[in-house]
Amino acid sequence: MSFPTMVAGLVHARAGRLRALAVTSAQRSIAAPELPTMAEAGVPRYEATNWYGIIAPAKTPGAVVSRLDTELARILALPDVRDRLSAQGMDPSSTTPAAFTAYIQSEIRKWAAVIKAAHVKAEQ
């Protein structure tokens, strides 16, 4: 059993080298809508997703951040970009810098709780 990313696993599932059972996101994937979510497959409250984002140094001027945000949203809205990313199993979207900051903070809290509950310790 494996939990590959959609990008890595979808190509193998479509080629018949892997048997995909479910996606780990809260919603079905637009790239593979035939696959149930983990909750639909019988594992309630399971959600673990990969995400990608673009960040800038903390002291980047607001005008620069705003311009980057506008341009990135414009690029992600291009049909050929969306189609290419979707074909690879990604669900391209954009958000505001503040909302992305809040999302990153929520991910840190979520995974910190998992690490604490599992008593995971860093090895040196």
Residue 10: how many other CB atoms lie within 10 Å:
22
Which pTM was predicted? 0.78
Question: pLDDT of 48-105, one tens digit each?
Answer: 988 889 999 999 999 999 999 999 999 999 999 999 988 877 888 889 999 999 999 9
> Across residues 4-30, what is the average pLDDT?
90
What is the CATH superfamily name and number for domain 1-50? Answer: Periplasmic binding protein-like II (3.40.190.10)
Per-domain boundaries in the chain: 1-50
99 closest CA partner among 62, 53, 60: 53
